């Protein structure tokens, strides 16, 4: 008996020691990920046409890949039938990657539903304005449906129970590129009515706020509340869109809470947010409130896709990075997807893959993952190529990736967790976006909110102005010297008064047309336009039109005849206290102002009343930046020479210089002497630096 008790004590001590070692492995794994730039790929062993897992791990290690993302697309593989599970493909990859020293991010598999679930519960498929979705594509479900939620929770819990103690895992991704998918079925409509009851209390309050007497849209009883699918009232449809975005925020927070019941303290949870899609990642996402949805995440994760070859500018990389960083108030972000080869027209020129990779890091990315490792041999994305082509053999892109992996590994301590202190921000608003998109510039107009926002961002990027994003929920307006406000069509009195106060206290604001026009309920203000901000802008208008053969008088921004023309929209502005920077050149509209600026308190408000050409927009912004004392040595360079900067964990300033062109370029380095990190060579102040085609330099100040 004594020997038995002694054996049990020894066994208990051994198990305890083993658990400590295991825990330390987990912690070390997470800490390693925290202290190293992550370089990785999405990996789908279940898609492979033949057994090659060990070969893939070996090729990944050769390329310096230290993380893979798995499982986010495989619900039907992990749960082939209702409550029947097969984790073999996950286990194989986890074990192989751990053996190879490669970290793993596990995705919850809920953005593509299995056939058996739809057969058992057809109502899982979302009902939209076009009717009920059909099975086949991904993201076709109603994320609020009770049957979907039950089975989504169950499969998440089953996966987490199975993998939670595996030492390879450093983090989890909940769902993927989540949006509301225009879900608008009966259950969603009922939930919206409850939302409206809580917010407005009475139907009379809704009728008044949204102008529902028009076309007999008045709602006289809660039981008569109509479906939003057919509404012609932009106020009501905008409120419904806001509610749908809240469904996404709640859904993702729900998944995060589930995952965190099982995850370890040093494992992160993220999401793969995507952007407005126009064949590339273009602008603010309409169907998700990124700032709200990111609150439950440890890191904001984004996917960024962009043109390459002769069309590579770096703008989309910078835009997605600046927005991703801003989602968490400046915290470093993760690039969960970007292309290696992608579409045939995206096969990169030599040096472009490296240029792209370090451009992500220069905006504050701590991870870069390609979608995906291998090219797929069938189905919808056959011709969206991965790092490897369809033959799985080394290619020029893979060989270039090997140099990225080596440099990421070598320079991690100097480049990770780059902190940026920008003094310019763009104020965007999902509510303004939805409202503006409902009307645009009149019947049949194709322009959308992002068509106003992106040219403003692009101009700042081309002038090497570091930029953050803020939204109406942001509490840090005061940290910026200049705020750019594109098409703030729908905004509360409170928000507009905040902007007035910001200006009065010494800030500079640049507004475009269609700002302040309606309140938060998309009801046009019946006061002087632009509503409330007219005080800071020192202007008024009550008419607008579509320009026909209109330019700016006397080419005030010195851009030449072609660039001086305006298009799409013009407001007929009369200055009250404002200085006119540009009048319209037109026999009827020539007395009206096109661009103004007004001193208000200690600050300055610029108002752009028309859609200007890209070069004119850039010069208007340049003028405002100079007046805000934001024109410095970095602005001696302009696209295609792009510079980014920040402070590393050692407190040293890092300067990136990128050449986004097919020709070699040179520049004069204007900052303190330091070391060029790629070549490990000394750089002196005022030294001439040569950049090869699609090349870059990274300089750490001494």
Tokens of 529: 């336009």
How crowded is residue 298: how many other Cβ atoms within 10 Å of its Cβ?
A: 18
Residue 153, classified by CB atoms within 10 Å of its CB into exposed (0-12), middle (13-18) or buried (19+), is middle
The radius of gyration of the chain's CA atoms, rounded to the nearest angstrom, is 27
How crowded is residue 378: how many other Cβ atoms within 10 Å of its Cβ?
A: 8
CA angle 451/453/458 to nearest 5° reads: 95
**Collapsed DSSP state (helix, strand, coil) of residue 97:** helix
Beta pairing, strands 67-70 & 103-107: parallel
User: Residue 651 and residue 418: Cα distance in Å, rounded?
Assistant: 10
**Collapsed DSSP state (helix, strand, coil) of residue 131:** strand
Residue 448, classified by CB atoms within 10 Å of its CB into exposed (0-12), middle (13-18) or buried (19+), is buried
Residue 410, classified by CB atoms within 10 Å of its CB into exposed (0-12), middle (13-18) or buried (19+), is middle
How crowded is residue 552: how many other Cβ atoms within 10 Å of its Cβ?
A: 24
Tokens of 576: 């009250």
Question: Hunting for tokens 């090349």 — which residue is that?
Answer: 695
Say which DSSP state 226 is in: P
- Termini Cα distance of the chain: 69
Give the active site residue among 72, 79, 239, 337. Answer: 337
Give the active site residue among 72, 79, 177, 400. Answer: 177
- Which of 352, 319, 321, 322 is closest to 335 using CA atoms? 321
Sequence-separated (6 or more) residues with CB below 8 Å from residue 186: 127
Yes or no: say if 401 and 386 are a contact pair by the CB < 8 Å rule: no
Sequence-separated (6 or more) residues with CB below 8 Å from residue 373: 41, 42, 43, 44, 56, 60, 68, 386, 387, 388
Q: Is 177 a catalytic residue?
A: yes
Tokens of 154: 């169950």
Please list, residue by residue across 595-616, b when 16 or more beta carbons sit within 10 angstroms of its beta carbon and e when fewer do. bbbbebeebbbbbbbbbbbebb
Query: Where are any strands of DSSP class E within 395-535?
Result: 424-427, 467-470, 482-485, 508-512
Annotated binding site: 138, 176, 346
Annotated binding site for substrate: 138, 176, 346
Q: Is 54 a catalytic residue?
A: no
User: Residue 349 and residue 619: Cα distance in Å, rounded?
Assistant: 32
User: Residue 357 and residue 341: Cα distance in Å, rounded?
Assistant: 13
User: Residue 110 and residue 290: Cα distance in Å, rounded?
Assistant: 19
> Does 580 sit behind a cis peptide bond, omega within 30 degrees of 0 on the bond before it?
no
Residue positions annotated with a catalytic role: 177, 337
């Amino acid at each position: 008996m004594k020997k038995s008790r002694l054996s049990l004590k020894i066994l208990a001590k051994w198990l305890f020691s083993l658990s400590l070692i295991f825990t330390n492995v987990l912690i070390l794994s997470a800490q390693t990920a925290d202290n190293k730039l992550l370089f990785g790929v999405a990996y789908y062993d279940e898609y492979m046409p033949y057994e090659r897992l060990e070969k893939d791990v070996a090729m990944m290690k050769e390329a310096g890949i230290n993380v893979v993302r798995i499982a986010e697309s495989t619900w039907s593989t992990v749960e082939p039938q209702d409550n029947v599970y097969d984790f073999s493909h996950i286990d194989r990859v986890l074990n192989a990657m751990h053996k190879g020293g490669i970290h793993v991010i596990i995705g919850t598999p809920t953005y593509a539903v299995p056939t058996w679930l739809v057969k058992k519960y057809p109502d899982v498929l979302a009902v939209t304005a076009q009717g009920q979705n059909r099975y086949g594509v991904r993201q076709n479900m109603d994320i609020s449906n009770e049957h979907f939620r039950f089975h989504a929770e169950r499969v998440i819990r089953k996966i987490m129970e199975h993998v939670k103690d595996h030492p390879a895992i450093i983090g989890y991704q909940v769902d993927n590129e989540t949006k509301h998918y225009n879900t608008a079925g009966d259950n969603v409509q009922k939930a919206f009515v409850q939302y409206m009851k809580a917010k407005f209390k009475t139907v009379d309050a809704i009728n008044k706020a949204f102008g529902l007497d028009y076309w007999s849209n008045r709602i006289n009883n809660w039981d008569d509340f109509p479906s939003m699918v057919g509404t012609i009232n932009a106020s009501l449809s905008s409120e419904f869109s806001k509610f749908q975005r809240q469904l996404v925020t709640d859904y993702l927070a729900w998944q995060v809470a589930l995952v965190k019941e099982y995850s370890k303290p040093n494992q992160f949870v993220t999401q793969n947010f995507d952007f407005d899609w126009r064949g590339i990642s273009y602008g603010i996402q309409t169907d998700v409130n990124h700032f709200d949805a990111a609150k439950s995440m440890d890191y904001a994760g984004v996917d960024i896709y962009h043109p390459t070859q002769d069309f590579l500018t770096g703008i989309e990389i910078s835009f997605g990075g600046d927005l991703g960083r801003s989602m968490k108030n400046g915290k470093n972000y993760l690039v969960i997807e970007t292309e290696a080869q992608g579409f045939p027209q995206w096969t990169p020129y030599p040096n472009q893959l490296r240029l792209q990779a370090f451009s992500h890091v220069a905006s504050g990315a701590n991870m870069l993952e390609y979608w995906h490792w291998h090219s797929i041999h069938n189905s919808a994305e056959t011709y969206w190529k991965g790092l490897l082509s369809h033959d799985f053999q080394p290619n020029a892109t893979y060989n270039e990736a090997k140099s990225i992996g080596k440099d990421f590994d070598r320079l991690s301590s100097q480049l990770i967790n780059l902190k940026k202190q920008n003094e310019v921000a763009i104020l965007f608003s999902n509510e303004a976006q939805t409202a503006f998109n409902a009307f645009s510039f009149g019947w049949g107009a194709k322009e959308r909110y992002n068509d106003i926002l992106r040219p403003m961002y692009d101009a700042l990027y081309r002038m090497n102005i570091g930029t953050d994003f803020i939204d109406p929920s942001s509490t840090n307006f005061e940290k910026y010297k200049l705020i750019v406000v594109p098409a703030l069509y729908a905004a509360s009195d409170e928000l507009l008064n905040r902007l007035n106060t910001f200006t009065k206290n010494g800030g500079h604001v640049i507004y475009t047309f269609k700002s302040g026009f309606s309140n938060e309920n998309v009801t046009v203000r019946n006061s002087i336009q632009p509503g409330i901000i007219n005080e800071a802008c020192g202007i008024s208008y009550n008419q607008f039109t579509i320009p026909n053969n209109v330019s700016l008088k006397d080419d005030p921004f010195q851009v030449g005849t072609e660039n001086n023309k305006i298009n799409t929209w013009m407001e007929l502005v009369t200055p009250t206290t404002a200085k006119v920077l540009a009048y319209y050149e037109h026999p009827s509209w020539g007395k009206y102002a096109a661009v103004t600026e007004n001193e208000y308190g200690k600050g300055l408000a610029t108002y752009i009343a028309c859609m200007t050409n890209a070069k004119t927009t850039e010069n208007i912004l340049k003028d405002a930046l100079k007046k805000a004392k934001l024109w410095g040595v970095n602005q001696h360079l302009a696209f295609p020479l792009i510079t980014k900067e920040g402070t590393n964990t050692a407190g040293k300033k890092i300067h990136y210089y990128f050449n986004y062109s097919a020709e070699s370029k040179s520049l004069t380095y204007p900052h303190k002497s330091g070391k060029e990190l790629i070549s490990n060579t000394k750089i002196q102040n005022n030294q001439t630096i040569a950049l090869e085609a699609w090349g870059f330099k990274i300089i750490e100040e001494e």
